[in-house]
Structure 1
């Protein structure tokens, strides 16, 4: 079981690569708060219709509402429910980007990967030829923040440093 928070779904949709999630993980489980954030907050946003119709996305209710309430003391609703969902379902992986959410998930023993890690995995599996255009799309179209140091480290890990030594 792989659980996702909103950020990976929304940001991949913004760059037109939501297809990477089912290609990598077959099925993604999301809790109701993530479904709401990805389809209802901005119903015409990129990916909203895809998420509503996707057979590869399963929405799963959270039984332990007290756990969600406890997590809400530190996190937003989507992060809290995604972590609770991952714990309840004994997920093998949680897709989450926000530092605070990742720290809480790690503290609770969950394995996590962020959007950048998803892109690196997609490159290793041959689903994308280059990461650089996707990173640029995330920064420019999705407003995804990443430090220059992380950007450079990702390009090194993806063996794309030689493609263009400088960003445009």
Structure 2
């Protein structure tokens, strides 16, 4: 059941859910998602999932915001790419409840700034634990779409979901 949290997302979780045609999972978990303009530009740079992304924005589920290049932005940008930097900075500035980010370095920086983090795998795991999806199938779809999941992590995720 969605709640009224401020959720900020980087590119990867949204793009990967688009690639496996699972945007509906976002609406089952969140009332809305905010992305910096830098993330929106990364998302709309490709073809896949573009119509669904635009639909999420048109219906008000996905909000795009401007993020200024503050001192914090410059500091984080030395470690991460533009989208991750903008998402983390916005999450910090707005005291977000959750940030969606997949890349290891981005997750470490977000945690260093006391942000609560999850990613595409966490979203899938929540849905599997609620009985809404077959986790193994969705993880396999992610892998087929090019999302890298180590065999060790794959096994651990499945055991967490008791599959």
Same fold flag (TM > 0.5): yes
Describe the SS at the equivalent of 2:142.
helix
Structure 1 stretches lacking a partner, 5+ long: 161-168
Q: What is the alpha-carbon distance in structure 1 between the residues aligned to residue 107 and residue 78 of structure 2?
A: 15
> How far apart, CA to CA, are the structure 2 residues paired with 1:33 and 1:52?
15
Rounded Cα–Cα distance in structure 2 between residues aligned with 1:132 and 1:97 = 18
CA distance in 2, matches of 1:64, 1:2: 20
User: What's the secondary structure of 2:156's corresponding residue?
Assistant: helix
Bigger shift: 60-69 or 81-90?
A: 60-69
Q: In the alignment, which residue of structure 2 is the partner of 1:136? A: 140
Q: Which residue of 1 aligns with 2:159?
A: 156
1:92 to partner: Cα distance: 0.5
Which residue matches 1:74? 79
Partner of 1:147: 150
Partners in 1 of 2:68 and 2:38 — Cα distance?
13
Normalised by the size of structure 1, how large is the TM-score?
0.88
How far 1:49 sits from its partner (Å)?
1.9
Q: Is residue 2:96 matched to residue 1:91?
A: yes
> Which residue in 1 is equivalent to 2:130?
125
RMSD: 1.2
TM-score (norm 2): 0.91
Task: State the Cα distance separating 1:64 from its structure 2 match.
Answer: 5.2
Q: Does 1:31 align with 2:36?
A: yes
Classify the secondary structure of the residue corresponding to 2:86.
helix
Deviation at 1:67, TM superposition (A): 2.0
* Aligned match of 2:3: none
The one of 40, 47, 50 aligned to 1:48: 50
- Secondary structure at the aligned position of 1:143 is classed as coil
